[in-house]
Structure 1
Amino acid sequence: MAGHSRRRFLGYLLAAPTLAVAVPVGEEFAMPGEASAALPSNPEIADLLDLSDLLNLAAAPTSGLVAVGVQADGTVSFALPRAEVGQGITTAVTMLIAEELDIGMDKVRVTLADARPELLCNQLTGGSNSMHSIYHPVRAAAAIARLALLDAAAGQWGTDASRLTITEGVISGPGGRSAPLGSFAKAAAGTRTKQLSAEPKKRPSLIGTPQSRIDAHDAVTGRKQFTMDLRVPGALPTMVCRGPHINAGVGSVRNLAEVRAMPGVTDIAVISTGVAVRANTTTHCIDAVRALRVDWRGGTVDGETDASVRAELRAITPPMPPPMPGAETIDLEVDFAFASNSALETNCAIADVRPDRAEIWAALKAPIPAHNEIAAKAGLLPTAVRVHVVQGGGSFGRKLFHDAALEATEASKAMGKPVKLMWHRTDDFRHGRVHPMSTSKIRLNHSGENVLSYEQRHMATQLDLGHGFGDAITSMLDKLPVADLTFNQVFFLTTQAMPYDFGITNQTLHEVPLKFHTSSMRNVYSPNVTGAREIAVEMLAKKLGKDSLELRRSFAKEERVRAILDKVAELGEWGKEMPPGTAQGIGIHVEYKSCCAVLVEIDCRPETVHRPVEEEGVTGPRVMRATVAVDVGVPVNPRGLEAQMLGCVNDGIGLVLTESLHMDRGLPLEGSWDNFFYTRQWNTPLDVRVFVMPKTTEEPGGAGELGVAATVGAVACAYGRATGTMPTSFPINHGTLSFEPLPRVPPIPQSPTDGLEHTF
């Protein structure tokens, strides 16, 4: 909670058979008093209200509808209204509960809550908000549970609760008396709901210490259960035959009877996104999908290519204001291609739809909107639908959408049987969600070393926020100092805090409403916006003859930003001598109540870049070393935070150097991991160091996406310093197509692609 400083937690002991404690948000968020007019008159709203604050505000009315429970066997349960997709949130929540109750982490059972529509905006995982939103409520509930257990023990032992302690799950008192805390769970339970308050643990011993993931052993031994691992009675493998263009519809199926008679095939149904095939095995599904002969109707972006989309972005670019009188300017335009979320787990879901009810299993980060749309798709009342949230194999924004769950619902309803629907990898790349293509235009006015103003116009294909984020922002629009802005623009402005004191600052978003499948990708708008900004800062340093790090440090608004810059400079040996063709680069990013600095070393000498023989067609430099300093306020689990930063660094490297989608006639050409060059072994840093800053505030900020934008800035600037030419189009290898595209729809051959250099 923003500005949280109270010394006691408030919560409710619930009427229940065993001990259950719920904690509503006890403090209202103060809206920024300075922001009273329309947002364009106060363009730095992100300095006043972060997106994470906005999400907490939207969730506040229902934040008391989740509870910590203590069972008679001494275990503690919590149904987490967030998704676990590899970011480690279940481990962090386990730590919070174990901390306040002084029990082993193995005694805490954190499960993922089913979709709960009554939670409204309080079951959304995104915006690196989870830890920020649940840190105090979960600690408070556990602290109040501790108080209730001590009171119950004191009542049974005829002593004062202040004379009792809990250590490693055992309550001890005068005279050597002791008993497991679970033995008091029933006595501590309330017959009616009542309000209580408790003090948090004064000196946390677990929070802030590196802990291994609670699911690590299951993950590496194959015991961890993802959606496709679940055994739902009667649910057979199901796949969808899709068209040659995005959103292409089915006109007719010419060989339906023939394919239905193929070995292993049990059912075929035409659905809104293609032709669904259910079969005894995945292999049978693939064979049947390949055999289908479908006449397709046109899609929604059939004629669009990289070049056409780029032209449309340029066409909507608003004019920059004229240079300030007597000022010098730095003008810059930076392009980013489409990219894929590229989660390891493809889209998948299990559905069992009956005439009177439906049950769905999927990894969902916005399960409430999913629940509502699934009910509508099934033609059922929401109360007749149950949606189970399953742990996901990665997301990076992709699992905010529930496309596979809707397809599975539609297929199961049409077939009258349970289905286990999975997208194959090519569909994931070509028909899945993409990170929008964008162009960022910047004008920086300066007079000598004094920056007078900073203007940034960010143009992008429209980002689909038609999930939980849209609901949360919409619910808050009447309380925010905005006028005539879309919730995409509100999202943009509450995430783009400016870390530099650059005078009059104005950052605006302008989107082309093209009907691509788009989604948030890790760090959403920020990698492109911040990457462009950091290039402009590098250009300013060069023009002024200033050291890049010192210039950033001199303009930094916050002391904590200067601190992370100092730390990466120290650990990364900023300014050391580098051979020609190599260089260091630095980037910073502030968001989610957190800040991050990344320093990289890049080698752009062709003779020193090593890669496997099979990837000889790929050209490009290698980031040899990366140093990260991250400040998240309260680092709950430094080991988990380090893992997040490692992933962010690889994401940022890929966005600058190698990874993108080539759009051609309404479809990405990439159709496999071989085609999509996410950061590979040959361009992963040999040396990565992450320094987690000690506690700097009383609450944790977000971390899951924080390092991507800073890495983009660092790698781009390092590349420019190493080659002598600052890049402005990303990724830098996008103009060369180094693979032969797979067919659009078997057996239709792929025609040549205009405007691209082929190096097969």
Structure 2
Amino acid sequence: MAEQGRRTFLTQLVAAPTLALATRIGADALAPQPAHAVIPSLPAPADLVDLGDLFILAGAPTSHLLTLVLETDGTVVFRLPREEVGQGLTTAVAMLVAEELDAPLATVRVELDDARPELVFNQLTGSSNSIRSLYDPVRHTAAAARARLLAAAARRWSVTVRELDTRDGAVHAPDGRSADYGSLAVEAAAPTLAVLAATPKPEARHALVGRPTGRIDARAMVTGRQRYTLDLDVPGAKPCVLRRPPTLGGTVRGVANADAVRAMPGVLAVVTVPTGVAVVAETFGQALDAKAALQVSWGPGPADDLSDAGIRTKLRAATPAPLLPPLLTPYVDAEFDFAFVSHAPMETNCAVADVREDRAEIWSGLKSPIVARETIAAALGLPLGKVTVHVVQAGGSFGRRLFFDAALEAALVSRAAGRPVRLMWTRVDDTRHGRMRPATHHRIRATYALGEVLSFEHRVAAAETDFRHGLGEIITATAASLPGGLGNGALAQTLFATTVKSPYHFGLTTQTLTEIPTGIPTGSWRSVYSANTRGAEEIVVDELAARLGKDPVAFRRTFLKTDAQRAVLDKAAAEGDWGRPMPPGCAQGIAFHEEYKSRTACLVEIDTRDRDRVRVTKAVIVADVGRPINPRGLEAQLLGGLTDAISTTLRAGLHIDKGLPMEGSYSQFHYAQQRDTPKDVRIHVLPATGEPGGAGELGVPAAVGAIANAYARATGTKPRSFPLDFDVDFTPYPR
């Protein structure tokens, strides 16, 4: 048993021929406790609680959180109750295991757990929370395994454990004897083994954690050996695609030529499901041909009358005016619009399903597999115990795979067709019918006098975000118990309040959200509310600095709340050579963001001399994430955040026209290409201090603000509508 903060971790032996351990939370954490007694160092003020704290609190009572198995060949198998979507989580977790075991990283294999309902809230991947919530349990589990290996070697050699040490995947004695872990796997599993209490290494002794490390799956990914959902060899599973409605959420009224399509070469089935008409065929080519030949009559969808102009009107009408009139004080007023945005992962939505009369088995990239399993079981009318959901590594997500549309569709098609299916969303399907980041409108008013900011009000109106993927249950179950009454409002309000916070001393600061239903399918997009909200605020910070005659960096330094924040900003300004002379039409921009116990500053240089191809030419990003597990993985996360910000700030968005996005591919969505990304990107990760913070969503908001601020300085304009270049310069695909 080991103590960490206020939480106890109990590691127990699992009945198995070789060493197998499971970790669960101790009984002290299972008893009802106030939130501050469960979350280590949880601050009392409600405005300091973040969404990650809610995740940690929700997961505290879950038993059998993690499982580790040591095989006789020395391989360490770690079962991970999270999803790998390219963020590098399996590598970071493997590093934690290898560190505590003193084992080579190459001997650690991380496998993704199937949906496990007993984990309750502990199998949702999101909100930059995986490392924060797993850091202690993973280390304790691996430390317990190391303790049993030492005890097994001590009994074999009739010596004390204190005489032994571990390195390179083996136990070593002072007289030169050694035993590799595989050879000790059976003895270490003995229930009668006397084992000393195990505690993780102090961070000062880390040899692997904190060192830049390549991904454990990198070679498989670049050689094509990495197996994604559609690569799986599921017996009998045949290709499947759907003909989808011409407007979002439209329904099938009838198919005029179903029999003729069934007679086409290779076609095995034509079935109707709630989201469209599915074709199952011998090949994807045959399925696509048959889909195109379908003659379907469609019913309306809930957003058929909506287009961009109408959506903007609705959002502006729903945005409350600032509460504080400027009276006699000078002020800055600003309004901003942000368009809908596609998640656009490289791997489109897909799933494999084998549904029989009495059971079902599903394979898909899922960030919320427990809710997926429950929903699929209910839709099929099967007992939960008869539905198995396998989590497969996915090729990108950015929030998209919190929802399980493809898995549910595949299950329904498989049942209707009476055979296993391999369902693929086309790129057009994914761009047009996938969930998207909601459009938003922002009103900001800041008052100032005598060099001080007196008030800062931010009113946000957004198309309603759908949280029916498990995140809502986590917030509902935990937020109401937090200090200060957080969670008494609506679900979206709680999520907004726990993610959007100003890092500045700006007098009376208020940030509020109003959501309106639109019928448009939405979902959490990387940084959720922060990308737009904090991005807009950082633009206003620059404008406040200009009003007060201050340099943007100096102004931020004055009003930032902590030395840790200023250290990040100072490093970015120094490394980016802030203030250096630049040609006309080129400029620097800087912005700051703090979230999930981490903080970052981004400095960019922009070239606007060709207005048809505005480019970010250089970026310097500095991050303090508390304790980075894999700095190389963190650099990739921050680079990805920069690329998302370049895309959605400059050109990438979705035009809604009569209930359907006009964009249907990357070429139309205008996500950044290689030529749009800066050749000079420098990322600096500050030295480790304290516990790990979140990183996956950290990089977007500051980059949005920095790019917009650089654009404003280069052009002498005030950017207010994003993306900045949002012309329809393409011919839309047919509906």
Q: TM-score, normalised by structure 2?
A: 0.95
- 1:374 corresponds to 2:376: yes
Correspondence for 1:616: none
Deviation at 1:177, TM superposition (A): 2.0
Correspondence for 1:146: 146
Correspondence for 1:585: 589
Residue of 711, 717, 722 corresponding to 2:703: 711
Aligned mates of 1:170, 1:430 — CA distance in 2:
54
Using a 3 Å threshold, how does the CA distance of structure 1 residues 108 and 245 change in structure 2: closer, same or farther?
A: same
Correspondence for 1:646: 639
Residue of 531, 555, 559 corresponding to 1:551: 555
Correspondence for 1:328: 330
Residue of 614, 624, 631 corresponding to 2:617: 624
Deviation at 1:530, TM superposition (A): 0.7
Specify the code of the residue in structure 1 equivalent to 2:126. G
Aligned mates of 2:222, 2:153 — CA distance in 1:
41
Residue of 401, 413, 437 corresponding to 2:415: 413
The answer on whether the counterparts of 2:321 and 2:443 sit within 8 Å (CA) in structure 1 is no
| 1:227-259 per-position Cα deviation (integer Å, ceiling 9, x unaligned) | 011111110100000111001100011111111
Correspondence for 1:292: 294
Residue of 476, 479, 501 corresponding to 2:478: 476
The answer on whether the counterparts of 2:65 and 2:122 sit within 8 Å (CA) in structure 1 is no
Aligned mates of 2:184, 2:208 — CA distance in 1:
24
The answer on whether the counterparts of 1:13 and 1:189 sit within 8 Å (CA) in structure 2 is no
Specify the code of the residue in structure 2 equivalent to 1:601. E
Specify the code of the residue in structure 2 equivalent to 1:103. A
Correspondence for 1:732: 724
The answer on whether the counterparts of 2:34 and 2:481 sit within 8 Å (CA) in structure 1 is no
SS at match of 2:265: coil
| 1:626-676 per-position Cα deviation (integer Å, ceiling 9, x unaligned) | 000011111111111111111111100111100000000000000111111
Specify the code of the residue in structure 2 equivalent to 1:353. V
Deviation at 1:328, TM superposition (A): 2.1
Correspondence for 1:73: 73
Correspondence for 1:161: 161
Aligned mates of 1:551, 1:90 — CA distance in 2:
40
Deviation at 1:65, TM superposition (A): 2.9
SS at match of 2:398: coil
Deviation at 1:682, TM superposition (A): 2.9
Residue of 655, 678, 683 corresponding to 2:671: 678
| 1:526-584 per-position Cα deviation (integer Å, ceiling 9, x unaligned) | 11001110011011011011000111111111211111111111111101011111110
Deviation at 1:683, TM superposition (A): 2.0
Aligned mates of 1:314, 1:266 — CA distance in 2:
50
The answer on whether the counterparts of 1:237 and 1:282 sit within 8 Å (CA) in structure 2 is yes
Correspondence for 1:751: none
Aligned mates of 1:484, 1:109 — CA distance in 2:
43
Aligned mates of 2:587, 2:372 — CA distance in 1:
47
Correspondence for 1:398: 400
| 1:488-518 per-position Cα deviation (integer Å, ceiling 9, x unaligned) | 1111110012111112211111100111110
Correspondence for 1:310: 312
| 1:138-170 per-position Cα deviation (integer Å, ceiling 9, x unaligned) | 011111111121112112221110110111011
| 1:302-350 per-position Cα deviation (integer Å, ceiling 9, x unaligned) | 0000111111111112231133554322111111001100001110000
Correspondence for 2:266: 264
| 1:57-116 per-position Cα deviation (integer Å, ceiling 9, x unaligned) | 111111543222222222211110000110110000110000011111111111000000
Correspondence for 1:614: none
Gapped runs of 5+ residues in structure 2?
A: 38-43
Report 1:150-549 matches (<5 A): 150-189=150-189, 191=191, 197-202=197-202, 203-323=205-325, 325-480=327-482, 481-482=485-486, 484-549=488-553
Specify the code of the residue in structure 2 equivalent to 1:552. R
SS at match of 2:667: coil
Specify the code of the residue in structure 2 equivalent to 1:505. T
Aligned mates of 2:701, 2:608 — CA distance in 1:
21
Deviation at 1:190, TM superposition (A): 5.0
Aligned mates of 2:630, 2:214 — CA distance in 1:
9
Aligned mates of 2:547, 2:345 — CA distance in 1:
40
- 1:742 corresponds to 2:728: no
Aligned mates of 1:495, 1:592 — CA distance in 2:
8
Correspondence for 2:84: 84
Deviation at 1:423, TM superposition (A): 0.6
Correspondence for 2:655: 662
The answer on whether the counterparts of 1:234 and 1:418 sit within 8 Å (CA) in structure 2 is yes
- 1:113 corresponds to 2:113: yes
The answer on whether the counterparts of 1:15 and 1:190 sit within 8 Å (CA) in structure 2 is no
Aligned mates of 2:192, 2:254 — CA distance in 1:
62
Deviation at 1:587, TM superposition (A): 1.0
Aligned mates of 1:398, 1:512 — CA distance in 2:
21
Using a 3 Å threshold, how does the CA distance of structure 1 residues 196 and 590 change in structure 2: closer, same or farther?
A: farther
| 1:680-710 per-position Cα deviation (integer Å, ceiling 9, x unaligned) | 233211211100111021x211111110111
Using a 3 Å threshold, how does the CA distance of structure 1 residues 15 and 350 change in structure 2: closer, same or farther?
A: closer
Aligned mates of 1:411, 1:92 — CA distance in 2:
37
Specify the code of the residue in structure 1 equivalent to 2:367. K
Aligned mates of 1:335, 1:64 — CA distance in 2:
46
Correspondence for 1:565: 569
Specify the code of the residue in structure 2 equivalent to 1:361. W
SS at match of 1:428: helix
The runs of at least 4 aligned residues of structure 1 exceeding 4 Å deviation read 3-6, 25-30, 192-196
Specify the code of the residue in structure 2 equivalent to 1:682. R
Deviation at 1:379, TM superposition (A): 1.4
Deviation at 1:182, TM superposition (A): 2.4
Aligned mates of 1:484, 1:474 — CA distance in 2:
9
Using a 3 Å threshold, how does the CA distance of structure 1 residues 483 and 346 change in structure 2: closer, same or farther?
A: closer
| 1:417-449 per-position Cα deviation (integer Å, ceiling 9, x unaligned) | 000000111111111111100011111122221
SS at match of 1:656: helix
Report 1:13-52 matches (<5 A): 13-17=12-16, 18-25=18-25, 31=35, 45-46=46-47, 48-52=48-52
Deviation at 1:186, TM superposition (A): 2.2
Using a 3 Å threshold, how does the CA distance of structure 1 residues 196 and 24 change in structure 2: closer, same or farther?
A: farther
Correspondence for 1:637: 630
Aligned mates of 1:500, 1:133 — CA distance in 2:
28
Specify the code of the residue in structure 1 equivalent to 2:667. D
Correspondence for 1:97: 97
Correspondence for 1:612: none
Using a 3 Å threshold, how does the CA distance of structure 1 residues 343 and 738 change in structure 2: closer, same or farther?
A: same
Using a 3 Å threshold, how does the CA distance of structure 1 residues 373 and 196 change in structure 2: closer, same or farther?
A: farther
Deviation at 1:180, TM superposition (A): 1.0
Aligned mates of 2:502, 2:518 — CA distance in 1:
29
SS at match of 1:737: coil
SS at match of 1:320: coil
Correspondence for 2:137: 137
The answer on whether the counterparts of 1:209 and 1:636 sit within 8 Å (CA) in structure 2 is yes
Structure 1, 383-392 or 12-21: larger mean CA deviation: 12-21
The answer on whether the counterparts of 1:12 and 1:194 sit within 8 Å (CA) in structure 2 is no
The answer on whether the counterparts of 2:476 and 2:491 sit within 8 Å (CA) in structure 1 is yes
The answer on whether the counterparts of 2:363 and 2:392 sit within 8 Å (CA) in structure 1 is yes
> Alignment identity in percent?
51
Specify the code of the residue in structure 1 equivalent to 2:15. A
Aligned mates of 2:194, 2:520 — CA distance in 1:
51
SS at match of 2:139: helix
SS at match of 1:627: strand
Aligned mates of 2:303, 2:174 — CA distance in 1:
75
Aligned mates of 1:564, 1:650 — CA distance in 2:
20
Q: TM-score, normalised by structure 1?
A: 0.92
SS at match of 1:650: helix
Aligned mates of 1:418, 1:453 — CA distance in 2:
60
Aligned mates of 2:288, 2:192 — CA distance in 1:
57
Aligned mates of 2:308, 2:173 — CA distance in 1:
72
